[in-house]
Structure 1
Amino acid sequence: MKRSIPILALLCMLLGIPGSPARADDYQIVTEEWAPYNYQENGQLTGMTTEIVRAIMALTGDHFEIALVPSMRTTYLLNSRPKTILYSLFRTPEREPLYKWVGPIVEESIYPYQLADAQQPVNTLEELHQAPQITTRKAGLIPDLLQAQGFNNLDRSASVNQQLYRMLLAKRTDLIVGDTAAGVAYNSRQLNIPAGTLRQIPVELYHSSLYIAFSRDADDKVVNAWSSALDRLRHTGALERIMRKYDHPVRP
Protein backbone atom coordinates (compact mmCIF):
# COMPACT_ATOMS: atom_id res chain seq x y z
CA MET A 1 0.00 0.00 0.00
CA LYS A 2 1.29 3.47 -0.89
CA ARG A 3 2.20 5.50 2.17
CA SER A 4 0.78 8.99 2.39
CA ILE A 5 3.25 11.70 3.24
CA PRO A 6 2.89 13.00 6.84
CA ILE A 7 1.52 16.54 7.06
CA LEU A 8 4.48 17.75 9.13
CA ALA A 9 6.97 16.29 6.67
CA LEU A 10 5.17 17.91 3.73
CA LEU A 11 5.09 21.30 5.45
CA CYS A 12 8.79 21.08 6.22
CA MET A 13 9.54 20.17 2.64
CA LEU A 14 7.41 22.97 1.15
CA LEU A 15 8.93 25.55 3.48
CA GLY A 16 12.45 24.29 2.83
CA ILE A 17 13.07 23.52 6.48
CA PRO A 18 16.03 21.15 6.92
CA GLY A 19 15.74 18.06 9.03
CA SER A 20 12.23 17.00 7.99
CA PRO A 21 10.83 13.93 9.76
CA ALA A 22 11.56 11.66 6.77
CA ARG A 23 13.95 8.80 7.49
CA ALA A 24 17.57 9.60 6.74
CA ASP A 25 17.91 6.68 4.34
CA ASP A 26 14.76 7.51 2.39
CA TYR A 27 14.48 9.46 -0.82
CA GLN A 28 11.64 11.93 -1.35
CA ILE A 29 9.89 11.99 -4.72
CA VAL A 30 8.24 15.22 -5.86
CA THR A 31 6.12 16.01 -8.87
CA GLU A 32 3.73 18.69 -10.10
CA GLU A 33 0.24 18.87 -11.59
CA TRP A 34 0.84 18.18 -15.29
CA ALA A 35 -1.66 15.86 -16.92
CA PRO A 36 -1.58 13.23 -18.26
CA TYR A 37 1.85 12.48 -16.76
CA ASN A 38 1.31 13.41 -13.12
CA TYR A 39 -1.90 14.83 -11.65
CA GLN A 40 -4.45 14.41 -8.91
CA GLU A 41 -7.83 12.83 -9.55
CA ASN A 42 -10.44 12.15 -6.89
CA GLY A 43 -7.88 12.99 -4.24
CA GLN A 44 -5.36 10.44 -5.55
CA LEU A 45 -2.08 11.06 -7.34
CA THR A 46 -2.15 9.33 -10.71
CA GLY A 47 -0.94 9.77 -14.28
CA MET A 48 1.17 7.95 -16.84
CA THR A 49 4.56 8.76 -15.34
CA THR A 50 3.26 8.28 -11.81
CA GLU A 51 2.30 4.72 -12.74
CA ILE A 52 5.72 4.18 -14.32
CA VAL A 53 7.50 5.45 -11.19
CA ARG A 54 5.43 3.14 -8.99
CA ALA A 55 6.11 0.23 -11.34
CA ILE A 56 9.84 0.97 -11.08
CA MET A 57 9.66 0.93 -7.27
CA ALA A 58 7.75 -2.34 -7.37
CA LEU A 59 10.76 -3.85 -9.16
CA THR A 60 13.45 -2.19 -7.05
CA GLY A 61 11.68 -2.75 -3.73
CA ASP A 62 11.75 0.95 -2.86
CA HIS A 63 8.88 2.60 -0.96
CA PHE A 64 9.70 6.27 -1.33
CA GLU A 65 6.92 8.74 -0.64
CA ILE A 66 5.58 10.89 -3.48
CA ALA A 67 4.44 14.47 -2.88
CA LEU A 68 2.51 16.64 -5.32
CA VAL A 69 3.82 20.18 -4.91
CA PRO A 70 3.34 23.50 -6.77
CA SER A 71 5.24 23.57 -10.04
CA MET A 72 7.44 26.46 -8.93
CA ARG A 73 8.64 24.34 -5.98
CA THR A 74 9.66 21.19 -7.82
CA THR A 75 13.07 22.15 -9.16
CA TYR A 76 13.77 24.21 -6.05
CA LEU A 77 13.36 21.09 -3.93
CA LEU A 78 15.42 19.03 -6.36
CA ASN A 79 18.22 21.61 -6.13
CA SER A 80 18.11 22.20 -2.39
CA ARG A 81 16.90 19.05 -0.64
CA PRO A 82 19.18 16.00 -0.35
CA LYS A 83 18.04 12.67 -1.79
CA THR A 84 15.27 14.11 -3.94
CA ILE A 85 13.73 12.62 -7.07
CA LEU A 86 11.62 14.63 -9.54
CA TYR A 87 9.41 13.50 -12.41
CA SER A 88 8.46 14.35 -15.18
CA LEU A 89 11.30 16.63 -16.32
CA PHE A 90 12.57 17.62 -19.75
CA ARG A 91 16.29 16.92 -20.05
CA THR A 92 17.96 20.05 -21.41
CA PRO A 93 21.63 20.96 -21.98
CA GLU A 94 21.40 23.47 -19.13
CA ARG A 95 19.99 20.87 -16.73
CA GLU A 96 22.27 18.05 -17.87
CA PRO A 97 25.09 18.51 -15.31
CA LEU A 98 22.77 19.41 -12.43
CA TYR A 99 21.14 16.01 -11.88
CA LYS A 100 21.42 12.27 -12.38
CA TRP A 101 19.00 11.00 -15.00
CA VAL A 102 16.82 7.95 -15.53
CA GLY A 103 15.10 7.62 -18.88
CA PRO A 104 14.02 8.56 -21.39
CA ILE A 105 10.41 7.81 -20.54
CA VAL A 106 8.62 9.42 -23.49
CA GLU A 107 9.58 11.72 -26.35
CA GLU A 108 7.43 14.84 -26.60
CA SER A 109 6.90 18.01 -28.62
CA ILE A 110 5.30 21.32 -27.72
CA TYR A 111 3.13 23.13 -30.26
CA PRO A 112 0.95 26.24 -29.92
CA TYR A 113 -2.83 26.01 -30.37
CA GLN A 114 -5.62 28.30 -31.48
CA LEU A 115 -9.33 27.92 -32.14
CA ALA A 116 -9.98 26.03 -35.37
CA ASP A 117 -12.37 28.77 -36.57
CA ALA A 118 -9.94 31.61 -35.87
CA GLN A 119 -10.25 34.40 -38.43
CA GLN A 120 -6.47 34.64 -38.77
CA PRO A 121 -4.91 31.16 -38.86
CA VAL A 122 -1.28 31.14 -37.77
CA ASN A 123 1.06 28.84 -39.68
CA THR A 124 4.62 30.14 -39.34
CA LEU A 125 7.11 31.09 -36.66
CA GLU A 126 7.13 34.66 -37.98
CA GLU A 127 3.35 34.88 -37.61
CA LEU A 128 3.66 33.62 -34.03
CA HIS A 129 6.11 36.42 -33.23
CA GLN A 130 3.72 38.95 -34.76
CA ALA A 131 0.59 37.66 -33.00
CA PRO A 132 -0.98 40.12 -30.54
CA GLN A 133 -0.78 37.70 -27.61
CA ILE A 134 0.35 34.17 -26.75
CA THR A 135 -0.82 32.95 -23.36
CA THR A 136 1.27 30.50 -21.37
CA ARG A 137 1.89 29.61 -17.75
CA LYS A 138 3.52 31.94 -15.24
CA ALA A 139 6.58 29.77 -14.74
CA GLY A 140 8.33 26.79 -16.24
CA LEU A 141 10.63 25.67 -19.03
CA ILE A 142 8.31 26.60 -21.92
CA PRO A 143 7.57 30.23 -20.99
CA ASP A 144 11.24 30.77 -20.15
CA LEU A 145 12.25 29.20 -23.47
CA LEU A 146 9.83 31.39 -25.45
CA GLN A 147 11.05 34.49 -23.64
CA ALA A 148 14.63 33.58 -24.51
CA GLN A 149 13.63 33.10 -28.17
CA GLY A 150 12.52 36.71 -28.38
CA PHE A 151 8.77 36.35 -27.99
CA ASN A 152 7.72 39.77 -26.72
CA ASN A 153 4.00 38.99 -26.95
CA LEU A 154 3.79 36.52 -24.07
CA ASP A 155 1.00 36.67 -21.53
CA ARG A 156 2.36 34.64 -18.60
CA SER A 157 -0.80 34.82 -16.53
CA ALA A 158 -2.02 31.22 -16.35
CA SER A 159 -1.38 29.50 -13.04
CA VAL A 160 -2.55 26.05 -14.22
CA ASN A 161 -2.78 24.51 -17.67
CA GLN A 162 -6.59 24.25 -17.80
CA GLN A 163 -6.76 28.02 -17.42
CA LEU A 164 -5.14 28.27 -20.85
CA TYR A 165 -8.02 26.41 -22.49
CA ARG A 166 -10.67 28.40 -20.64
CA MET A 167 -9.07 31.65 -21.75
CA LEU A 168 -8.89 30.47 -25.35
CA LEU A 169 -12.51 29.30 -25.39
CA ALA A 170 -13.63 32.59 -23.85
CA LYS A 171 -11.61 34.43 -26.53
CA ARG A 172 -9.56 36.19 -23.89
CA THR A 173 -6.52 35.14 -25.90
CA ASP A 174 -5.86 34.02 -29.47
CA LEU A 175 -3.06 31.52 -28.90
CA ILE A 176 -1.98 29.20 -26.11
CA VAL A 177 1.11 27.09 -25.54
CA GLY A 178 2.15 24.82 -22.70
CA ASP A 179 0.98 21.25 -23.29
CA THR A 180 2.10 18.29 -25.33
CA ALA A 181 -0.42 16.69 -27.68
CA ALA A 182 -1.21 14.15 -24.96
CA GLY A 183 -1.85 16.98 -22.52
CA VAL A 184 -4.14 18.78 -24.97
CA ALA A 185 -6.13 15.57 -25.52
CA TYR A 186 -6.48 14.97 -21.78
CA ASN A 187 -7.53 18.52 -20.92
CA SER A 188 -9.94 18.63 -23.85
CA ARG A 189 -11.70 15.56 -22.43
CA GLN A 190 -11.74 17.03 -18.92
CA LEU A 191 -13.24 20.32 -20.14
CA ASN A 192 -15.63 18.67 -22.62
CA ILE A 193 -14.08 20.51 -25.56
CA PRO A 194 -15.56 18.98 -28.75
CA ALA A 195 -13.19 17.37 -31.22
CA GLY A 196 -12.09 19.82 -33.88
CA THR A 197 -12.44 22.89 -31.66
CA LEU A 198 -8.70 23.36 -31.24
CA ARG A 199 -6.15 23.60 -34.01
CA GLN A 200 -2.51 22.63 -33.59
CA ILE A 201 -0.34 25.27 -35.24
CA PRO A 202 2.33 23.54 -37.38
CA VAL A 203 5.30 25.14 -35.60
CA GLU A 204 7.21 22.86 -33.24
CA LEU A 205 8.46 25.12 -30.44
CA TYR A 206 10.20 22.44 -28.41
CA HIS A 207 11.15 18.78 -28.75
CA SER A 208 12.73 16.63 -26.07
CA SER A 209 12.20 13.63 -23.82
CA LEU A 210 10.82 13.39 -20.31
CA TYR A 211 13.04 11.87 -17.63
CA ILE A 212 13.20 11.11 -13.93
CA ALA A 213 15.80 13.37 -12.30
CA PHE A 214 17.77 12.59 -9.12
CA SER A 215 19.60 15.16 -7.01
CA ARG A 216 23.38 14.97 -7.45
CA ASP A 217 23.90 13.39 -4.02
CA ALA A 218 21.83 10.35 -4.98
CA ASP A 219 23.58 7.00 -4.62
CA ASP A 220 24.60 5.67 -8.02
CA LYS A 221 23.36 2.23 -6.96
CA VAL A 222 19.84 3.62 -6.53
CA VAL A 223 19.96 5.51 -9.83
CA ASN A 224 21.29 2.47 -11.70
CA ALA A 225 18.65 0.22 -10.13
CA TRP A 226 15.90 2.57 -11.32
CA SER A 227 17.44 2.73 -14.78
CA SER A 228 17.58 -1.06 -14.99
CA ALA A 229 13.98 -1.33 -13.77
CA LEU A 230 12.81 1.12 -16.44
CA ASP A 231 14.64 -0.92 -19.10
CA ARG A 232 12.91 -4.03 -17.80
CA LEU A 233 9.50 -2.33 -18.02
CA ARG A 234 10.30 -1.35 -21.58
CA HIS A 235 11.52 -4.80 -22.65
CA THR A 236 8.60 -6.67 -21.07
CA GLY A 237 6.01 -4.40 -22.69
CA ALA A 238 4.79 -3.04 -19.33
CA LEU A 239 5.86 0.49 -20.25
CA GLU A 240 3.87 0.35 -23.47
CA ARG A 241 0.80 -0.94 -21.65
CA ILE A 242 0.90 1.97 -19.21
CA MET A 243 1.30 4.48 -22.04
CA ARG A 244 -1.64 3.03 -23.95
CA LYS A 245 -3.84 3.40 -20.85
CA TYR A 246 -3.39 7.13 -21.27
CA ASP A 247 -3.85 7.08 -25.07
CA HIS A 248 -0.23 8.06 -25.51
CA PRO A 249 1.30 7.16 -28.88
CA VAL A 250 4.04 4.56 -28.59
CA ARG A 251 7.00 5.38 -30.81
CA PRO A 252 9.15 2.50 -32.09
Structure 2
Amino acid sequence: MQARTVGTTVALLYATALPAQAAPCQLKIALEQWPPYVYSKPNSAPTGLDLELTQAILREAGCTLQLMPELPTARRQRQFEQGSLDVLLAASDTAERRKIARFSIPYRSESVNLFVRSEQLPRFQQLRTLEGLLAMQVSLLAPKVGWYGTAYARLQPQLLSAGHLSTFLNFQQGVRMLEAGRADVILGDSAALRYEARELGLAISALPVTVMRAPVHLMLNKNTTTPEELEQINAAIARLEKQGVLAEIRNRYGEF
Protein backbone atom coordinates (compact mmCIF):
# COMPACT_ATOMS: atom_id res chain seq x y z
CA MET A 1 0.00 0.00 0.00
CA GLN A 2 2.79 2.39 0.95
CA ALA A 3 4.84 1.55 -2.17
CA ARG A 4 1.80 2.19 -4.36
CA THR A 5 1.27 5.58 -2.71
CA VAL A 6 4.91 6.57 -3.22
CA GLY A 7 4.80 5.47 -6.86
CA THR A 8 1.67 7.52 -7.47
CA THR A 9 3.25 10.57 -5.84
CA VAL A 10 6.37 10.29 -8.02
CA ALA A 11 4.23 9.95 -11.14
CA LEU A 12 2.25 13.06 -10.21
CA LEU A 13 5.42 15.04 -9.56
CA TYR A 14 6.86 13.91 -12.91
CA ALA A 15 3.69 14.85 -14.76
CA THR A 16 3.66 18.27 -13.08
CA ALA A 17 7.22 18.89 -14.20
CA LEU A 18 6.39 18.24 -17.86
CA PRO A 19 5.51 21.27 -20.04
CA ALA A 20 1.77 21.75 -20.41
CA GLN A 21 0.39 20.68 -23.78
CA ALA A 22 -1.89 23.18 -25.48
CA ALA A 23 -5.45 21.95 -25.86
CA PRO A 24 -6.31 21.15 -29.48
CA CYS A 25 -8.08 23.92 -31.38
CA GLN A 26 -11.52 22.48 -32.14
CA LEU A 27 -14.26 24.84 -33.27
CA LYS A 28 -17.97 24.03 -33.58
CA ILE A 29 -20.00 25.67 -36.31
CA ALA A 30 -23.63 25.28 -37.41
CA LEU A 31 -24.28 25.78 -41.10
CA GLU A 32 -27.21 27.33 -42.93
CA GLN A 33 -28.24 27.16 -46.58
CA TRP A 34 -26.86 30.49 -47.83
CA PRO A 35 -25.66 30.05 -51.41
CA PRO A 36 -23.18 30.83 -52.85
CA TYR A 37 -21.46 31.10 -49.44
CA VAL A 38 -22.69 27.87 -47.82
CA TYR A 39 -24.93 25.27 -49.46
CA SER A 40 -25.31 21.57 -50.10
CA LYS A 41 -26.75 19.61 -52.99
CA PRO A 42 -28.58 16.29 -52.47
CA ASN A 43 -26.17 13.49 -51.52
CA SER A 44 -23.24 15.91 -51.44
CA ALA A 45 -21.12 17.41 -48.69
CA PRO A 46 -21.67 21.08 -47.80
CA THR A 47 -19.62 23.53 -49.86
CA GLY A 48 -19.62 27.22 -50.79
CA LEU A 49 -17.32 30.22 -50.81
CA ASP A 50 -17.31 30.94 -47.09
CA LEU A 51 -17.08 27.29 -46.09
CA GLU A 52 -14.13 26.69 -48.42
CA LEU A 53 -12.35 29.81 -47.16
CA THR A 54 -12.96 28.88 -43.53
CA GLN A 55 -11.81 25.30 -44.00
CA ALA A 56 -8.58 26.49 -45.64
CA ILE A 57 -7.95 29.07 -42.90
CA LEU A 58 -8.59 26.71 -39.98
CA ARG A 59 -6.56 23.91 -41.57
CA GLU A 60 -3.63 26.33 -41.93
CA ALA A 61 -4.15 27.45 -38.31
CA GLY A 62 -4.03 23.85 -37.05
CA CYS A 63 -7.68 23.88 -35.99
CA THR A 64 -10.39 21.28 -36.52
CA LEU A 65 -13.80 22.41 -37.73
CA GLN A 66 -16.72 20.42 -36.31
CA LEU A 67 -19.86 20.80 -38.44
CA MET A 68 -23.06 20.79 -36.39
CA PRO A 69 -26.62 20.32 -37.75
CA GLU A 70 -28.02 23.19 -39.81
CA LEU A 71 -29.82 25.95 -37.91
CA PRO A 72 -31.87 28.99 -38.96
CA THR A 73 -30.07 32.31 -38.54
CA ALA A 74 -31.81 33.43 -35.33
CA ARG A 75 -31.32 30.07 -33.56
CA ARG A 76 -27.69 29.91 -34.64
CA GLN A 77 -27.11 33.36 -33.17
CA ARG A 78 -28.78 32.31 -29.90
CA GLN A 79 -26.67 29.17 -29.62
CA PHE A 80 -23.54 31.21 -30.26
CA GLU A 81 -24.49 33.61 -27.46
CA GLN A 82 -25.18 30.64 -25.15
CA GLY A 83 -21.76 29.12 -25.88
CA SER A 84 -22.94 26.08 -27.85
CA LEU A 85 -21.15 27.29 -31.00
CA ASP A 86 -17.60 28.61 -31.30
CA VAL A 87 -17.52 30.45 -34.62
CA LEU A 88 -19.81 32.26 -37.06
CA LEU A 89 -18.91 33.05 -40.66
CA ALA A 90 -19.04 36.30 -42.63
CA ALA A 91 -19.54 38.52 -39.59
CA SER A 92 -19.44 42.30 -39.45
CA ASP A 93 -17.28 43.65 -36.63
CA THR A 94 -19.49 45.84 -34.41
CA ALA A 95 -19.07 47.25 -30.91
CA GLU A 96 -22.17 45.40 -29.70
CA ARG A 97 -20.87 42.04 -30.91
CA ARG A 98 -17.47 42.63 -29.33
CA LYS A 99 -19.13 42.19 -25.94
CA ILE A 100 -19.44 38.46 -26.63
CA ALA A 101 -17.02 37.83 -29.50
CA ARG A 102 -13.57 38.45 -30.91
CA PHE A 103 -13.00 38.95 -34.63
CA SER A 104 -10.41 37.72 -37.07
CA ILE A 105 -8.81 39.99 -39.62
CA PRO A 106 -10.92 40.18 -42.83
CA TYR A 107 -10.95 37.22 -45.21
CA ARG A 108 -13.21 38.71 -47.92
CA SER A 109 -15.47 41.70 -48.51
CA GLU A 110 -19.24 41.88 -48.90
CA SER A 111 -21.44 44.16 -50.95
CA VAL A 112 -25.02 45.01 -49.96
CA ASN A 113 -27.21 46.64 -52.59
CA LEU A 114 -30.80 47.40 -53.56
CA PHE A 115 -32.39 45.35 -56.35
CA VAL A 116 -35.66 45.45 -58.29
CA ARG A 117 -37.28 43.18 -60.85
CA SER A 118 -35.61 44.12 -64.13
CA GLU A 119 -38.89 45.17 -65.76
CA GLN A 120 -39.34 47.70 -62.93
CA LEU A 121 -35.88 49.26 -63.31
CA PRO A 122 -36.98 52.36 -65.31
CA ARG A 123 -39.48 53.20 -62.56
CA PHE A 124 -36.83 53.29 -59.83
CA GLN A 125 -33.66 54.49 -61.57
CA GLN A 126 -34.00 57.91 -59.96
CA LEU A 127 -33.65 56.29 -56.53
CA ARG A 128 -30.08 57.21 -55.53
CA THR A 129 -30.04 57.00 -51.72
CA LEU A 130 -31.53 54.86 -48.99
CA GLU A 131 -33.38 57.92 -47.70
CA GLY A 132 -35.11 58.08 -51.07
CA LEU A 133 -37.07 54.98 -50.09
CA LEU A 134 -39.03 57.08 -47.60
CA ALA A 135 -39.29 60.15 -49.81
CA MET A 136 -40.67 58.07 -52.71
CA GLN A 137 -42.78 55.84 -50.39
CA VAL A 138 -41.11 52.72 -51.78
CA SER A 139 -41.86 49.38 -50.12
CA LEU A 140 -38.76 47.40 -49.12
CA LEU A 141 -37.89 43.77 -48.42
CA ALA A 142 -34.91 43.23 -46.11
CA PRO A 143 -33.36 40.39 -44.08
CA LYS A 144 -34.87 39.89 -40.63
CA VAL A 145 -31.46 39.28 -39.01
CA GLY A 146 -28.03 40.76 -39.67
CA TRP A 147 -26.02 43.97 -39.87
CA TYR A 148 -26.43 46.01 -43.06
CA GLY A 149 -24.63 49.23 -42.19
CA THR A 150 -25.29 52.32 -40.13
CA ALA A 151 -27.39 54.06 -42.80
CA TYR A 152 -29.88 51.18 -42.94
CA ALA A 153 -29.87 50.76 -39.14
CA ARG A 154 -30.80 54.44 -38.82
CA LEU A 155 -33.54 54.24 -41.46
CA GLN A 156 -35.06 50.90 -40.45
CA PRO A 157 -37.33 52.19 -37.61
CA GLN A 158 -38.75 54.88 -39.89
CA LEU A 159 -39.50 52.36 -42.64
CA LEU A 160 -41.22 50.11 -40.09
CA SER A 161 -43.35 52.88 -38.62
CA ALA A 162 -44.35 54.00 -42.13
CA GLY A 163 -45.41 50.44 -42.99
CA HIS A 164 -42.91 50.24 -45.85
CA LEU A 165 -40.73 47.38 -44.55
CA SER A 166 -41.25 43.61 -44.77
CA THR A 167 -38.62 41.08 -43.72
CA PHE A 168 -37.53 37.61 -44.84
CA LEU A 169 -35.65 34.77 -43.14
CA ASN A 170 -33.50 33.67 -46.08
CA PHE A 171 -32.66 34.98 -49.52
CA GLN A 172 -34.70 32.39 -51.39
CA GLN A 173 -37.78 33.52 -49.46
CA GLY A 174 -36.89 37.16 -50.10
CA VAL A 175 -36.58 36.70 -53.87
CA ARG A 176 -39.86 34.78 -53.96
CA MET A 177 -41.53 37.65 -52.11
CA LEU A 178 -40.11 40.12 -54.63
CA GLU A 179 -41.35 37.95 -57.51
CA ALA A 180 -44.83 37.86 -55.93
CA GLY A 181 -44.93 41.66 -55.70
CA ARG A 182 -44.81 41.81 -51.90
CA ALA A 183 -42.58 44.89 -52.20
CA ASP A 184 -40.93 47.08 -54.83
CA VAL A 185 -37.29 46.80 -53.78
CA ILE A 186 -35.16 44.20 -52.00
CA LEU A 187 -32.06 44.85 -49.90
CA GLY A 188 -29.38 42.26 -49.30
CA ASP A 189 -26.06 40.66 -50.07
CA SER A 190 -25.52 41.09 -53.81
CA ALA A 191 -24.07 37.64 -54.54
CA ALA A 192 -26.75 35.83 -52.52
CA LEU A 193 -29.61 37.72 -54.19
CA ARG A 194 -28.21 37.21 -57.69
CA TYR A 195 -27.74 33.49 -57.01
CA GLU A 196 -31.30 32.94 -55.78
CA ALA A 197 -32.78 35.03 -58.60
CA ARG A 198 -30.92 32.90 -61.18
CA GLU A 199 -32.14 29.71 -59.49
CA LEU A 200 -35.74 30.95 -59.60
CA GLY A 201 -35.47 32.34 -63.14
CA LEU A 202 -36.24 35.90 -62.02
CA ALA A 203 -34.46 38.78 -63.75
CA ILE A 204 -33.31 41.39 -61.20
CA SER A 205 -31.26 44.55 -61.60
CA ALA A 206 -29.22 46.56 -59.11
CA LEU A 207 -30.15 50.15 -58.35
CA PRO A 208 -27.34 52.75 -58.17
CA VAL A 209 -27.32 52.57 -54.36
CA THR A 210 -24.51 50.79 -52.52
CA VAL A 211 -25.94 50.22 -49.05
CA MET A 212 -22.69 48.83 -47.66
CA ARG A 213 -19.35 47.50 -48.86
CA ALA A 214 -17.26 46.21 -45.99
CA PRO A 215 -14.88 43.46 -44.88
CA VAL A 216 -16.22 40.35 -43.18
CA HIS A 217 -14.56 38.29 -40.47
CA LEU A 218 -14.71 35.02 -38.60
CA MET A 219 -16.47 35.73 -35.30
CA LEU A 220 -15.11 33.68 -32.40
CA ASN A 221 -16.99 33.11 -29.16
CA LYS A 222 -15.18 34.90 -26.32
CA ASN A 223 -16.32 32.32 -23.78
CA THR A 224 -15.27 29.20 -25.68
CA THR A 225 -12.16 30.30 -27.61
CA THR A 226 -8.87 31.90 -26.60
CA PRO A 227 -6.87 34.94 -27.74
CA GLU A 228 -4.12 32.50 -28.75
CA GLU A 229 -6.50 30.72 -31.12
CA LEU A 230 -7.43 34.07 -32.65
CA GLU A 231 -3.71 34.80 -33.19
CA GLN A 232 -3.29 31.43 -34.92
CA ILE A 233 -6.24 32.16 -37.20
CA ASN A 234 -5.08 35.69 -38.04
CA ALA A 235 -1.60 34.41 -38.88
CA ALA A 236 -3.15 31.73 -41.10
CA ILE A 237 -5.25 34.30 -42.99
CA ALA A 238 -2.18 36.49 -43.53
CA ARG A 239 -0.10 33.56 -44.84
CA LEU A 240 -2.84 32.32 -47.17
CA GLU A 241 -3.44 35.83 -48.54
CA LYS A 242 0.29 36.19 -49.24
CA GLN A 243 0.36 32.80 -50.97
CA GLY A 244 -2.71 33.65 -53.09
CA VAL A 245 -4.69 30.69 -51.73
CA LEU A 246 -7.70 32.71 -50.54
CA ALA A 247 -7.75 34.80 -53.73
CA GLU A 248 -7.88 31.61 -55.82
CA ILE A 249 -10.92 30.39 -53.86
CA ARG A 250 -12.67 33.76 -54.10
CA ASN A 251 -12.02 33.98 -57.85
CA ARG A 252 -13.66 30.61 -58.46
CA TYR A 253 -16.91 32.05 -57.10
CA GLY A 254 -16.72 35.37 -58.91
CA GLU A 255 -15.64 38.85 -57.84
CA PHE A 256 -15.39 39.39 -54.07
Regarding TM over 0.5, the answer is yes
Residue in 1 that maps onto 2:140: 134
Which structure: greater helix fraction? 2
- Opposite residue 253 of structure 2, the aligned amino acid is Y
The one of 77, 83, 87 aligned to 1:85: 87
Contact 1:91-1:208 within 8 A present in 2 as well: no
Q: Which moved more, 1:228-237 or 1:87-96?
A: 87-96
Residue 104 of structure 1: how far off its partner (Å): 0.3
Contact 2:25/2:229 (8 A) holds in 1: no
The answer (yes or no) to whether the contact 2:61–2:235 under 8 Å persists in 1 is no
RMSD: 2.6
Amino acid at match of 1:39: Y
**In structure 2, what is the Cα distance between the partners aligned to 1:69 and 1:102?**
23
Which residue does the alignment assign to 1:9? none
Report whether the alignment pairs 1:228 with 2:232.
Answer: no
Is the CA contact (8 Å cut-off) linking 2:111 and 2:214 kept in structure 1?
A: yes
The alignment status of 1:120 with 2:162, answered yes or no, reads no
TM-score where L is the length of structure 1: 0.77
How far the C-alpha of 1:143 sits from its partner, in A, is 10
- Secondary structure of residue in 2 paired with 1:202: strand
- Alignment match, 1:16: none
Q: Where does 1:12-161 land on structure 2 (aligned, <5 Å)?
A: 26-42=26-42, 43-67=44-68, 68-81=70-83, 84-118=86-120, 120-122=123-125, 123-125=127-129, 126-129=131-134, 130-142=136-148, 146=152, 148-149=154-155, 150-152=158-160, 153-156=164-167, 158-161=168-171
- Structure number with bigger Rg: 2
CA 1:25–1:32 in 2, change beyond 3 Å: closer, same or farther?
same
Alignment of 1:237-248 (within 5 A): 237-248=244-255
Return the alpha-carbon distance in structure 1 between the equivalents of residues 90 and 57 of structure 2. Answer: 14
Q: Is the 8 A contact 1:33 1:71 kept in 2?
A: no
**Offset of residue 105 of structure 1:** 1.4
Paired residue for 1:205, among 206, 211, 215?
A: 211
**Which residue is equivalent to 2:6?**
none
- Count of residues in Structure 1 that have an aligned counterpart in Structure 2: 222
Tell me if the contact between 1:30 and 1:84 (Cα under 8 Å) persists in the aligned partners. Answer: no
SS at match of 1:117: helix
Aligned letter for 1:134? L
Q: Percent identity?
A: 23
Is the 8 Å Cα contact of residues 25 and 62 (structure 2) preserved in structure 1?
no
**Given residue 108 of structure 2, which amino acid in structure 1 is its aligned partner?**
V
CA contact (8 A) 1:133 1:175 kept: yes
Q: Retained in 2: the 8 A contact 1:31–1:87?
A: no
Matched to 2:32, the amino acid is E
Structure 1: runs of 5 or more not aligned: 1-22
Provide the C-alpha distance between the structure 2 equivalents of 1:238 and 1:25, rounded to a whole number of angstroms.
Answer: 22
Give the TM-score of the pair, scaled to structure 2.
0.76
Shift >6 Å, 4+ stretches:
none
Cα distance in 1 for partners of 2:107, 2:247 equals: 10
